[in-house]
Structure 1
Amino acid sequence: MTSEVTREMTAEVIRLDGVEKVFEVRRKNGRRLRRERAQVRAVDGITFSVPRGEMVGYIGPNGAGKSTTIKMLTGILTPSGGRVRVAGLDPSRERTRLARRIGVVFGQRTTLWWDLPLYDSYRLAHRMYRIPDDRFRANLDRCVELLDLGELLDVPVRQLSLGQRMRGDIAAALLHDPEVLYLDEPTIGLDVVSKAKVRTFLRELNAERGTTVLLTTHDLTDIEQLCKRVMVIDHGRLVYDGALAGLHEAGGSERTLVVDLEREHAPIELDHARVVRVEGPRQWLAFPATASAAPLVARIAERYPLVDLSVREPDIESVIARMYADRGLH
């Protein structure tokens, strides 16, 4: 084993160097009946590394290249250029070996058997990955308890709600103790309580087992609560790599405080926040995404007849759009 490979397997579990993916498509020519070939550069020279045990958010607008990147990291797609290594392996050439070392949850594309009870899908994974019996039982029991799957094990997958199936898919991806976990929208379709359970589960998994997690999501709360580092991809290029606070600073993004008062009231006046909308007793206040909402909430509760309030995070698209506008990017 070379020193280079040894270093990759101990310090970096994921490494991309100048990775590209180009698709050839056929498009209609407006003036001609026949279709013409064109190239679409889905991923355009991406370079980054992820140390073992890190949880990283990988975000961007729809069509930015996130899923294409994940598919190259799992070996589903072969890069058009550049170099990819995961756990010291070339995913496209060593896909079978790599499959035993990674877990994948692809959003609304389930890995579970549609017409079988949930438990039968887990038994199939048990055999497919050749998981030792004691390890399988321990992992399954832990997932069932923390993801609240006990009453779902005998239910056919097709009868599960989206949120239930997402929890079932996360459990299936972890039964064989993967070193790397790729998650695509893991909290989609979940209620507030279930989201909290999934986030707690992932934090414990990372802390106890050192599982490396690459998370793609449109929910910035997932990123805030799970990841210290976030990478932003847009138009196939990596446009940001750093802390979430730095991303908000780069885009000057804002959070929204939705305040319900007992009755209609003049616009709330607070330092470091501004009213952007008023409808009857409800008011919307914008404030910097890098600031804490706690001081604002305390002042509102002290000065105004407060009934309820909530905080809304900026969506991924608006953060990136503002970042581009501020930097003059296209």
Structure 2
Amino acid sequence: MTPHQPLIDVQDLGRSFDVRRKVEGRRRRSRESVVAVHDLTFSVDAGEMVGYIGPNGAGKSTTIKMLTGILVPTEGGVRVAGLDPSRDRVELARRIGVVFGQRSTLWWDLPLRDSYDLLQKMYRIEPARYRQNLARFVELLDLGDQLDTPVRQLSLGQRMRGDITAALLHDPEVLYLDEPTIGLDVVSKGRLREFLRALNAERGTTLLLTTHDLQDIEALCDRVIVIDHGTSVYDGSLAGLHAQGGSTRTLVVDLVDEAPPVEVPGATVRRVEGPRQWLSFPADASAAPIVAAVAAAYDVADLSIQEPDIEDVIRELYSRGA
């Protein structure tokens, strides 16, 4: 039996940079080695949608650049689709797509359509497949009215959708998204998330997403890798992340009349305001038995559940690491 090979395989990966710093009282700058990533190990299977998150300076973008071959690791190794990114950059480029939220891969003064035609030639995409992909992505991302508009005249949201289309025209196996929703409004974010879910469902495209907008992670990813100071501090499910951070869900109960604090197994009343009460329970526990117990014992006007804030969970992980 052939052993399982992940699509992305990172083993003991590290990257450091030499930085020259000015030293008071000296004419020459001193050289200092700054570690951006160290001892980083993880793997991603084909078709997974993985959130790769961490604070500024944690090493997220450096990792993406090593996965794409832009940077060469100083230690450890990485394979993507069986290739060494730094040695096989040209071949790998045909199998990956990359979107950096703060940089565009499009030609600034050309209309979108011309940029896409250039990419078709660069990637040598078969014409019929190119037309099919372009039509599909333009429809899903609502770009039809912008195809003849120069990139410099597009809004940030339109340009971002244009960049994502450009990254997908050649049918990559892996899509790296680095801050893809930065600066987008709520409507544009929602449209982009729906598109990425459809892309993964229909084509099995593997997604590695780095973002500071944790709602992107919750909407798209079943698995999360949290990186801090260049190494992984958590790798698992969103539910497991909440459990590890000790997060809780909240059942908001509106009773018909004011009453003493509700008493039901598995939940604790945290706050009471008139007929409204807030009950907390572990994030990895089911709300169903608690809701049933409350409804059976009290006259309830309304119920709602507040999900835990993933930012608080990650902040707790960082504080433990510190």
Does the C-alpha gap of structure 1 residues 285 and 65 become closer, same or farther in structure 2, counting only changes over 3 Å?
Answer: farther
Q: What 5-or-longer segments of structure 2 have no aligned partner?
A: 253-260
* Alpha-carbon offset, residue 293 of structure 1: 9.4
Does the C-alpha gap of structure 1 residues 116 and 145 become closer, same or farther in structure 2, counting only changes over 3 Å?
Answer: same
1:247 aligned onto 2:241: yes
Are the counterparts in 1 of residues 193 and 219 from structure 2 also a CA contact under 8 Å? Answer: yes
Matched position secondary structure for 2:82? coil
Matched position secondary structure for 1:246? helix
- The one-letter code sitting in structure 1 at the alignment partner of 2:242 is H
Cα offsets for 1:235-277 (capped at 9, x unmatched): 001110001121122223468999xxxxxxxxxx8865756xx
**1-side partners of 2:248 and 2:23: how far apart?**
42
Say which of 55, 72, 75 aligns to 2:69.
75
Does the C-alpha gap of structure 1 residues 136 and 30 become closer, same or farther in structure 2, counting only changes over 3 Å?
Answer: same
**1-side partners of 2:269 and 2:56: how far apart?**
30
Cα offsets for 1:96-146 (capped at 9, x unmatched): 000000000011111111111111111111111011111111111111111
Structure number with larger C-alpha Rg: 2
- The one-letter code sitting in structure 1 at the alignment partner of 2:108 is W
**2-side partners of 1:222 and 1:195: how far apart?**
8
* Alpha-carbon offset, residue 41 of structure 1: 0.7
* Alpha-carbon offset, residue 191 of structure 1: 2.7
1:23 aligned onto 2:21: no
- Which residue of 2 is the match for residue 265 of structure 1? none
Are the counterparts in 2 of residues 274 and 287 from structure 1 also a CA contact under 8 Å? Answer: no
Give the aligned CA root-mean-square deviation in angstroms. 3.4
Cα offsets for 1:27-54 (capped at 9, x unmatched): 2224545321111110011111111111
Are the counterparts in 1 of residues 18 and 33 from structure 2 also a CA contact under 8 Å? Answer: yes
Aligned length: 305
Are the counterparts in 2 of residues 166 and 188 from structure 1 also a CA contact under 8 Å? Answer: no
Does the C-alpha gap of structure 1 residues 28 and 196 become closer, same or farther in structure 2, counting only changes over 3 Å?
Answer: same
* Alpha-carbon offset, residue 66 of structure 1: 0.4
Say which of 91, 107, 125 aligns to 1:131.
125
* Alpha-carbon offset, residue 73 of structure 1: 0.3
Does the C-alpha gap of structure 1 residues 293 and 156 become closer, same or farther in structure 2, counting only changes over 3 Å?
Answer: farther
TM-score by length of 2: 0.82
- Which residue of 2 is the match for residue 323 of structure 1? 317
- Which residue of 1 is the match for residue 184 of structure 2? 190
- The one-letter code sitting in structure 1 at the alignment partner of 2:62 is T
1:51 aligned onto 2:45: yes
**2-side partners of 1:183 and 1:129: how far apart?**
20
Alignment of 1:173-252 (within 5 A): 173-252=167-246
Say which of 302, 309, 316 aligns to 1:314.
309
Does the C-alpha gap of structure 1 residues 256 and 196 become closer, same or farther in structure 2, counting only changes over 3 Å?
Answer: farther
**2-side partners of 1:255 and 1:111: how far apart?**
41
Say which of 92, 101, 110 aligns to 2:86.
92
- The one-letter code sitting in structure 1 at the alignment partner of 2:99 is V
- The one-letter code sitting in structure 2 at the alignment partner of 1:66 is K
- Which residue of 2 is the match for residue 281 of structure 1? none
Does the C-alpha gap of structure 1 residues 257 and 171 become closer, same or farther in structure 2, counting only changes over 3 Å?
Answer: farther
* Alpha-carbon offset, residue 195 of structure 1: 2.1
Matched position secondary structure for 2:321? coil
Are the counterparts in 1 of residues 69 and 87 from structure 2 also a CA contact under 8 Å? Answer: yes
Cα offsets for 1:144-202 (capped at 9, x unmatched): 11111111111111111211111111111000000111011222233333222222221
- Which residue of 1 is the match for residue 54 of structure 2? 60
Say which of 114, 117, 141 aligns to 2:111.
117
TM-score by length of 1: 0.80
* Alpha-carbon offset, residue 289 of structure 1: 5.7
Are the counterparts in 2 of residues 101 and 177 from structure 1 also a CA contact under 8 Å? Answer: yes
Does the C-alpha gap of structure 1 residues 116 and 291 become closer, same or farther in structure 2, counting only changes over 3 Å?
Answer: farther
Q: What 5-or-longer segments of structure 1 have no aligned partner?
A: 259-268, 279-283
Does the C-alpha gap of structure 1 residues 107 and 227 become closer, same or farther in structure 2, counting only changes over 3 Å?
Answer: same
- The one-letter code sitting in structure 2 at the alignment partner of 1:49 is S
- Which residue of 1 is the match for residue 35 of structure 2? 41
- Give the fraction of aligned pairs with identical amino acids, expressed as a percent: 66
**2-side partners of 1:289 and 1:114: how far apart?**
46
- The one-letter code sitting in structure 2 at the alignment partner of 1:237 is T
* Alpha-carbon offset, residue 288 of structure 1: 6.5
**2-side partners of 1:286 and 1:208: how far apart?**
38
- The one-letter code sitting in structure 1 at the alignment partner of 2:313 is V
